[in-house]
Structure 1
Amino acid sequence: MDFSILVLALLFAATATLYASVGFGGGSTYIALLALAALDYRALPVIALLCNIIVVTGGTIRFQLRGLIDWSKIWPILLLSVPAAWLGGRMVLEQDSFMLLLGISLAAAGVLLIIEPFIRRARAIGGQWTGHQLFAPAIGTAIGFLSGTVGIGGGIFLAPILLLTRWADSRRIAATASVFILVNSIAGLGGQLMKSGLSSGGEAILAYWPLFLGVLLGGQVGSILASKALPEIWIRRLTALLILYVAARILWV
């Protein structure tokens, strides 16, 4: 087995452990690591989305058992995000266009990770931004389409927006993000496989199976132990630095 794949698998396992402990899938970091490894750009979304699915499935079940998923509030967000994620996965982009969109998305994700503590404070002193009935479907559609296109589950964008709008308490927002990542990753992966063909997508999955084993094990550890090796704020900052570094390399190389 290629040594670089083993190193990637260990990094993926560590990423899954950290993200699973806070209810996320880790798609943005998987994409960043894969981009650094210079894999075929067409395989990046397939691998990252499948890793998301593996990690957040356990988290979603855990949140459901704890009664933190409010389906009556979540369905408006999911209503159009699922078909949008599928359409995003079906989008055929040239490498330059894909890498540009990926770089911008990673840069936005990194910035959101850095400013999320400030968003939490703004939420504590601010008011309800909007109660418009189109707010949830519009946000879900936009983030769902992006998640299917580039292979980022979307929770990293959704959670700060919900925090800032006082949509729910932080635990329920984490549960909502977990469900959002799961269903949109499934839809986006379906679109990606239809675009590339099951045989081509299957080859990518088989070739990088150690990565999926790594996130499966890491996700379970994160879900069970809720790793506290570093304060969450430092985990987010270090992750943000990695994502921003990769975004800079993609956009300015």
Structure 2
Amino acid sequence: MTSARSHYNIPGDIMFVEERQSLILEELHEKGKVRVKELSERFQVSEDLIRKDLTALEEKGQLKKAYGGAVMVKENVHRKIAAQRKHVHTAEKQRIAEKAMSMIQDGDIIFLDISTVNIELAKLLNNGTKKITIVTNMLDVMNLLVKSDMSVIFIGGELDYGRDGFIGSLAMEMVKNFRFDKAFMGVVGVDVHENAVMTYMANDGMMKKAIIKRSRNSYMMCEEEKFTQLGNYTYAELEDFTGVITNQQPAKDVCKAFAEHDLQLYYA
């Protein structure tokens, strides 16, 4: 069967419109963005024709037109409590947690914030033998570690929107008294083109920002799909983190953005 890529040698005006648009989407998913000028040269058609293709694809909800080209459509993730998310993509979260576990050393003081991936990491820590101190503001994590031999410190304050853990001014005041070796942070969405790391709510974002400020090394913990999702509040930029831990290698444009911001990529 002939690969779709072989059509790149065929002038775009000879192709069916659907074929050309399919190839445009294929390149978009591979690179994260496409440019009108480059597509025009590749398919040997006018830039106006490419713009019409992009408009048609945007009307179908398959991309978003941007200056000079188009980018992928990002899902706007609505607020969900951890109880609704903890059983979603469990295998991916476990792989991320295993990678994070390998980065923790005896003697570390680590922070586990409100994140369903951190539930999986807490399970591994609970069954392990690492001699560390864990600080957390997430109720599920605390409940898992309540009988642990490790030193566990719980941050109190105001219950968050989903009643998953504590945030607010009192919690942030407590965090200011610590210095963490590593912080493992939850992420709702990451927009590498806008240099934005997002969560659901502003008060959760402010708490995350305070944790990052008190951490020598901060790591995003997120499934690969989070790079095509949006949250409601930007709490950090890429360069605020030491690295990102995900379940598989992201798209080329995402990897490029991480490298440009000196962000170390770890994936299972």
What TM-score do the two structures reach when normalised by structure 2? 0.23
More strand per residue: 1 or 2?
2
Between the two structures, name the one with larger relative contact order (CA 8 Å, sep ≥ 6).
1
More helix per residue: 1 or 2?
1
**Between Structure 1 and Structure 2, whose CA radius of gyration is higher?**
2
